[in-house]
Chains A and B, each alone.
Chain A
Amino acid sequence: MRYFEFGILGFGTGAVIAAIALGLVVAYRASGVINFGHGAIAAYCAYSYNSLRTDGEIPIPPLPNPVAPIEGLFNVEIFNLPTFISVGDSVATIPALVIALLIAAVLGLIAHYAVFRLLRYAPVLAKVVASVGIMILLQGAIVIRYGSRAKQADRILPDDTVDWFGATLPIDRYLLLGLVILLTVGLWALFRYTAFGVATRAAAENERFATLLGVNADSQAVVSWVLASVLAGLVGVLASPIIGLTPNQLTLFIIPALGAALLGRMSSFVVAAAAGVGIGVIQSVLFLLEQNASWVPDLNIPQALPFIVIALAMILRGETLPSRGAITAGRLPEAYVPKLTRARVSAYSVLIAVSVLIVMFAPFRFRSGMNNTMVGVMLGLSLVVVTGYVGQISLMQMAVAGLGAYAVASFGTDAGLPFVVALVLAVLAATAIGAIVSLPALRTRGASLAVITLASGLAIQEFLFKHEGWFGSADTRNTDAPSLFGFEMGPNSSFPIGDGKIPSPGFGLLLIVITVLCAISVMRLRRSRLGQQMLAVRANERAAAAAGISVAGVKMSAFAISSALAGMAGAFTAFKLGQFTADSFGIFVSLSVLAFAYLGGISTVGGAVMAGTLFAEGIGIVVTEEWFNLNVQEYTAYVAGFFLILTAVYNNEGIDGFQRTQFYNLVRKIRGDRSPTPAATAEEVTA
């Protein structure tokens, strides 16, 4: 009987998962985009509604203040941008709900017009990256405006209880379930029987044919985006009192919702909604089972359930996502190989020398910023290999890095192995895990792969890192300082040169050596036979296979190499902090790693270096904060999301590609050269 009650209670979360899944299916059917930001749209609306109810305020997303750097330099205040629009003390339920849903509609319009419409003909990689950008951007905006702590949510549905089926339970669960059933039937009928439905299905199958028949694919997509956003917003507002109002929670509901939508092959409303409600119910029942039944291992199974569902969906449904016949497919970012001219080698040497000087003599914050940058560069490099060279999206780099960090703490400190041995073992452990996780990548690609890596990342975080007993109590575990030939090089170790304060220059120098070695390896990889095979696989898997390349082998080696680099970065994060903490390797950190790597330039080593500079607390951020007196740290996620979308839409080669093109154009102008730019002769990809 208790299980029955818990099952019904699960309708609350189940309804949210189902509604977000329905929105995902609507958006996918209308525009062929899997929107990772859909949960964040629900969260943003829920926050807006509550803000209206309690304070009568509509949040304005943070906008860049152009005079802020000047204010910082001269320590004056010129003007501040507004953060809220006030509409009185507190708004009544209905108008507040209407405004919140209008905000949802506007978010849908922005998503379509400002992002996905421009990416209509872009490769899947760019679409996934942009939608991840939306997710980070909205989540970041919520954190800036409302903080990351849980808020009391205003209730619309009655909080009475009813005595149905012999159990006294809150009525809102039944109401939410009823609402989801209504929405599902409504959407099914809309797509099945109306002119709008037939036209949207036609446009989804082949945009060109539909256009020849007079269907305006664009307006179909607009309506669908608004519909999808409003759905998510409505259920987000209604259910937030039940599931709690925190920036991460609703945003991360995207993962079980993706599982549900994938089970419905991104096209069946009924299957997606049923699976969504099912996940909620099973999660709730499992929760009770874990508490009561002694035979159930204490493995945090409810949290891992979405991953299991997604894995199941992938195995059962395989690569059967309906694809669309688009008019053209755009270019992938160029994987540029720099020629090692004398000028370039000396430029690199100067860069390294400056880094060495910073870690040895600069003040505390700059030294620690440099250390963070080095770790960021390694993470960036790990994505350059897997995403830049092979075109496979990984949203779980930090989970792999966390495994490396955990392993180095276990082997080095707990088992007492020497530093070098522990480091090698940690990297090998991460490599092995990466290779295992890459197994689904052999069958899937594009958006499906992004989904599965996102779910794996969350599963590793919930299942392993938060598991009491396995990964040490209270999520932390100490790491000893690295030492080589009896010479300690931890961040707190003493070092003969410098001011003797932490972080020690010894650690910085060690990091520089390791990072430079990693960067050279990735550059060499690009020039190697394997690197060329990787690019072939990225351009066209079938053509690569026809040319005798083992696609599975290439993908697996890419994931292994990438995981080794991520594991290395994780190990040094652990050394840097002196301990392993689960929080440093969370899912949102993984997302922002992808954001910075893509922003820097996903397919080049230079891009990874750029990413490291911008990475959380990296040297670039430190310089901005110290010199311009700007508080960027708080805005990192938000700004990263914004620029990620911008990069995906306008310049998929990132900052590195941008400055390279500019440099070429400058050189050509000086020489009066009129031949086409090297970028124009890069691989053209047709799908």
Chain B
Amino acid sequence: MSERVLDIKGLHAGYDGVAVVRDLDLYVEGGEVVAFLGPNGAGKTTTLMAVSGMVQILDGSITVLGRAVPKLRQAHLLARWGVSHVPENRGILFQLSVEENLQLANRGGRTDVTPAIDYFPALGDLLKRQAGLLSGGEQQMLAIGRAILCKPKFLMIDEMSLGLAPVIYEELMPIVRRIADDTGAGVLLVEQHADLALAQSDRAYVLNHGDLVMQGTAEELIRDRHLLDATYLGGETLEEEPLR
């Protein structure tokens, strides 16, 4: 068994002292893709932000690559340890060129961009273009390509499919699997499209209203698909569902 790149124990996190996520236990090992599912407002993004040091940890602990998450003032250190976080709105800096965006993987210094272009050949022709002019799919490629250049040991991707056409994210999703297989990085994948995410994942967690409601291997969740649906459609059905 590989080493844990992320280990969350009993996490309470939120804003202004109010917990949005309660008593969460979650871990990710190197080389595995873990889907993090749940309806809108479940607390998935908040959890990711807490891992990145941008949301207050009220209780419990988060260990990333064997170290405790630093405070907001030191949050930039995480990226230097080898944690890469592609935020919900992709984190593209629109006023910089594609090439400069990629260079930010090395904090603006000279960077060999070929690994990113190997995964996303389309980026090769766009290097000099201002990032704000890219299409949504191109932006997502840029964001993930940049994450690859960071050579992460642990990668978090928040809602990769947001605002993209199905034909595009269906193409992007398998690449996440490839990254984990090629580099041995652990991946935590937040997704609304459960089927799509589960198809590429090893394990999954389901969060609802800030509480962990399900967890298991991807196969188990695919098998118990009706339970997963219940979390999206309403909490009661989940408990009332008789075991078969």
Closest to B105 in A: A213
A202 contacts which chain B residues (CB < 8 A)? Answer: 93, 96, 100, 104, 108
Query: Across the interface, do B93 and A214 meet the contact criterion of CB distance under 8 Å?
Result: no
> Given A199-B108, A215-B104, A216-B76, are A210 and B54 neighbors across the interface (CB < 8 Å)?
no
Closest to B79 in A: A214
> Given A195-B106, A210-B104, A213-B150, are A201 and B93 neighbors across the interface (CB < 8 Å)?
yes
B85 contacts which chain A residues (CB < 8 A)? Answer: 212
The CA-CA distance from A199 to B93 in the complex, in Å, is: 11
Please tell me if A209 contacts chain B, counting CB pairs below 8 Å: yes
Closest to B97 in A: A198
Query: Across the interface, do A214 and B107 meet the contact criterion of CB distance under 8 Å?
Result: yes
How far apart are A684's CB and chain B's nearest CB, in angstroms?
A: 10
| A-B CB contacts (within 8 Å), total count | 75
> Given A205-B93, A206-B93, A217-B76, are A212 and B107 neighbors across the interface (CB < 8 Å)?
no
A213 contacts which chain B residues (CB < 8 A)? Answer: 79, 91, 104-105, 107, 146, 150
Q: Among residues 81 to 104 in chain B, which have CB atoms less than 8 Å away from a CB atom of chain A? A: 85, 87, 91-96, 100, 103-104
Query: Across the interface, do B108 and A215 meet the contact criterion of CB distance under 8 Å?
Result: yes
B13 contacts which chain A residues (CB < 8 A)? Answer: none
Please tell me if A635 contacts chain B, counting CB pairs below 8 Å: no
Per-residue 0/1 for A312-338: is the Cβ within 8 Å of any B Cβ (1 yes, 0 no)?
000000000010000100000000000
Quick one: which of B52, B85, B104 has the most chain A CB within 10 A? B104
Please tell me if B133 contacts chain A, counting CB pairs below 8 Å: no
The CA-CA distance from A522 to B171 in the complex, in Å, is: 63
Per-residue 0/1 for B34-69: is the Cβ within 8 Å of any A Cβ (1 yes, 0 no)?
000000000000000000101000000000000000
Query: Across the interface, do A205 and B95 meet the contact criterion of CB distance under 8 Å?
Result: yes
> Given A211-B54, A214-B80, A217-B76, are A205 and B104 neighbors across the interface (CB < 8 Å)?
no
Query: Across the interface, do B108 and A194 meet the contact criterion of CB distance under 8 Å?
Result: yes
Q: Among residues 102 to 126 in chain B, which have CB atoms less than 8 Å away from a CB atom of chain A? A: 103-110
A contact face: mostly helix, strand, loop, or mixed: helix
Please tell me if B230 contacts chain A, counting CB pairs below 8 Å: no
A217 contacts which chain B residues (CB < 8 A)? Answer: 76
Please tell me if B11 contacts chain A, counting CB pairs below 8 Å: no
The CA-CA distance from A218 to B92 in the complex, in Å, is: 20
> Given A198-B100, A209-B87, A327-B54, are A215 and B107 neighbors across the interface (CB < 8 Å)?
yes
Closest to B15 in A: A328
Please tell me if A196 contacts chain B, counting CB pairs below 8 Å: yes
Closest to B132 in A: A205
> Given A198-B103, A202-B96, A205-B94, are A211 and B75 neighbors across the interface (CB < 8 Å)?
yes
The CA-CA distance from A210 to B91 in the complex, in Å, is: 8
How far apart are B188's CB and chain A's nearest CB, in angstroms?
A: 14
How far apart are A268's CB and chain B's nearest CB, in angstroms?
A: 13
The CA-CA distance from A175 to B96 in the complex, in Å, is: 35
B54 contacts which chain A residues (CB < 8 A)? Answer: 208, 211, 327
How far apart are A323's CB and chain B's nearest CB, in angstroms?
A: 11
Please tell me if A578 contacts chain B, counting CB pairs below 8 Å: no
Please tell me if A62 contacts chain B, counting CB pairs below 8 Å: no
The CA-CA distance from A196 to B105 in the complex, in Å, is: 13
> Given A212-B85, A214-B79, are A195 and B93 neighbors across the interface (CB < 8 Å)?
no
A214 contacts which chain B residues (CB < 8 A)? Answer: 76-80, 107, 150
The CA-CA distance from A205 to B100 in the complex, in Å, is: 13
How far apart are B70's CB and chain A's nearest CB, in angstroms?
A: 11
The CA-CA distance from A195 to B79 in the complex, in Å, is: 16
B contact face: mostly helix, strand, loop, or mixed: loop
| Interface size of A in residues (CB-CB distance below 8 Å) | 23
Q: Among residues 216 to 258 in chain A, which have CB atoms less than 8 Å away from a CB atom of chain B? A: 216-218
B79 contacts which chain A residues (CB < 8 A)? Answer: 211-214
The CA-CA distance from A315 to B137 in the complex, in Å, is: 37
The CA-CA distance from A114 to B29 in the complex, in Å, is: 43
Please tell me if A170 contacts chain B, counting CB pairs below 8 Å: no
Of A197, A212, A322, the contact of B91 (CB 8 Å cutoff): A212
| Interface size of B in residues (CB-CB distance below 8 Å) | 28
B75 contacts which chain A residues (CB < 8 A)? Answer: 211-212
Closest to B111 in A: A195
Quick one: which of B79, B94, B150 has the most chain A CB within 10 A? B79
Closest to A198 in B: B108
Q: Among residues 142 to 162 in chain B, which have CB atoms less than 8 Å away from a CB atom of chain A? A: 146, 150
Of B78, B109, B150, the contact of A195 (CB 8 Å cutoff): B109
How far apart are B151's CB and chain A's nearest CB, in angstroms?
A: 12
The CA-CA distance from A660 to B52 in the complex, in Å, is: 39
The CA-CA distance from A216 to B104 in the complex, in Å, is: 12
How far apart are A327's CB and chain B's nearest CB, in angstroms?
A: 7
The CA-CA distance from A198 to B146 in the complex, in Å, is: 15
B107 contacts which chain A residues (CB < 8 A)? Answer: 195, 199, 213-215
The CA-CA distance from A216 to B107 in the complex, in Å, is: 9
B77 contacts which chain A residues (CB < 8 A)? Answer: 214
The CA-CA distance from A212 to B91 in the complex, in Å, is: 8
Please tell me if B244 contacts chain A, counting CB pairs below 8 Å: no
How far apart are B146's CB and chain A's nearest CB, in angstroms?
A: 8
How far apart are B156's CB and chain A's nearest CB, in angstroms?
A: 9
Query: Across the interface, do A212 and B87 meet the contact criterion of CB distance under 8 Å?
Result: yes
How far apart are A673's CB and chain B's nearest CB, in angstroms?
A: 20
The CA-CA distance from A687 to B87 in the complex, in Å, is: 20
The CA-CA distance from A682 to B104 in the complex, in Å, is: 40
A212 contacts which chain B residues (CB < 8 A)? Answer: 52, 75, 78-79, 85, 87, 91
Please tell me if B223 contacts chain A, counting CB pairs below 8 Å: no
Quick one: which of A196, A211, A215, A218 has the most chain B CB within 10 A? A211
Query: Across the interface, do A211 and B76 meet the contact criterion of CB distance under 8 Å?
Result: yes
The CA-CA distance from A214 to B87 in the complex, in Å, is: 14
Closest to A684 in B: B16
Query: Across the interface, do B103 and A195 meet the contact criterion of CB distance under 8 Å?
Result: yes
Query: Across the interface, do A197 and B76 meet the contact criterion of CB distance under 8 Å?
Result: no
The CA-CA distance from A218 to B78 in the complex, in Å, is: 15
Query: Across the interface, do B93 and A209 meet the contact criterion of CB distance under 8 Å?
Result: yes
The CA-CA distance from A208 to B54 in the complex, in Å, is: 8
Closest to A322 in B: B95
A201 contacts which chain B residues (CB < 8 A)? Answer: 93, 95-96, 100
How far apart are A521's CB and chain B's nearest CB, in angstroms?
A: 37
Closest to B100 in A: A198
> Given A198-B108, A209-B87, are A215 and B95 neighbors across the interface (CB < 8 Å)?
no
A215 contacts which chain B residues (CB < 8 A)? Answer: 76, 104, 107-108
Closest to B87 in A: A212
Q: Ordered nearest first, which 7 A-B pairs have the shortest CB separation? A: A214-B79, A198-B108, A195-B108, A195-B109, A199-B108, A209-B91, A216-B76
Binding site for A on B (CB under 8 A): 52, 54, 73, 75-80, 85, 87, 91-96, 100, 103-110, 146, 150
- Beyond contacts A199-B107, A215-B108: 18 other A-B pairs, Cβ-Cβ < 8 A, are A195-B109, A195-B110, A198-B104, A202-B93, A202-B100, A205-B93, A205-B94, A209-B93, A211-B75, A211-B76, A211-B79, A212-B91, A213-B107, A214-B77, A214-B80, A214-B150, A215-B104, A322-B95
Chain A to chain B contacts (Cβ below 8 Å), 9 pairs: A201-B100, A206-B93, A209-B92, A209-B93, A210-B76, A211-B76, A213-B79, A216-B76, A217-B76
Binding site for B on A (CB under 8 A): 194-199, 201-202, 205-206, 208-218, 322, 327
